[in-house]
Amino acid sequence: MLPDQFNRFVSSALAHNIVFFHSGHLDQETVASIGSMLRRRLQDEGASSVQSRKVFTTFMEMAQNIVHYAVPDEGEAEGKLGALSVAREDQGFAVMCGNYLATEQVSRVRHRLEAVKVMGPDRVRDAYRRQLAFEGTDPDSKGAGLGLLTMAASARSPIEFALEPLPEGERTFLFLKAII
């Protein structure tokens, strides 16, 4: 990257009010260290303690989703890859993530995202509580949908999402955005 390209990159990040950005491998250690970095950044940004907690909670659920469900990028043998970002927007902090999913998971994920999207805050709380008490195990879900409900309970508007299948067919790009 040449100095002027780097400048453009930095200016673009500033223009989009990016508070935090990480793209690449994610594992438990990385999640812990970027989590504490994010806490510091939110403090510097003057976020209230309520807002900070909700941003952090949402960010951590997204990060842990990537660690559990992401599939490797093309040409990568293994490893969990994903992008995570927090930006300041007019309505609040936007917490966003993007990663590849196995296409066979898409209908389950879409169904869940759509179901939660139409719930108001009260139904989110009820669903969260039901999932918490649910004793069975869903073999495809390590957290039984609780992670998504946690994000929805933290956000001030419904979680936005996009699912874009890659031309090769096996993987689909998942984008999530929560406004806190």
Residues forming the site for other proteins (CB under 8 A): 27-28, 31-32, 49-50, 53, 56-57, 60-61, 64, 67, 125, 129, 132-133, 142-144, 146-147, 149-150, 153-154
Closest contact distance (angstroms) between CB of 152 and other proteins is 11
Choice between 143 and 158, CB closer to other proteins: 143
Closest contact distance (angstroms) between CB of 150 and other proteins is 4
**CA-to-CA separations, 42 to 17, 18, 84, 86, 132, in angstroms, rounded:** 13, 11, 15, 9, 29
Choice between 74 and 135, CB closer to other proteins: 135
CA 75 to chain CA mean position, Å: 24
Length of the chain in terms of residues written: 180
Choice between 56 and 161, CB closer to other proteins: 56
Choice between 79 and 165, CB closer to other proteins: 79
Do the beta carbons of residue 71 and residue 78 sit within 8 Å?
Answer: no
Closest contact distance (angstroms) between CB of 72 and other proteins is 18
Closest contact distance (angstroms) between CB of 160 and other proteins is 20
Q: Which two tokens stand for residue 124?
A: 């989110």
**Which residues in 84-105 are b (16+ Cβ under 10 Å) and which e?**
bbbbeeeebbbbbbbbbbebeb
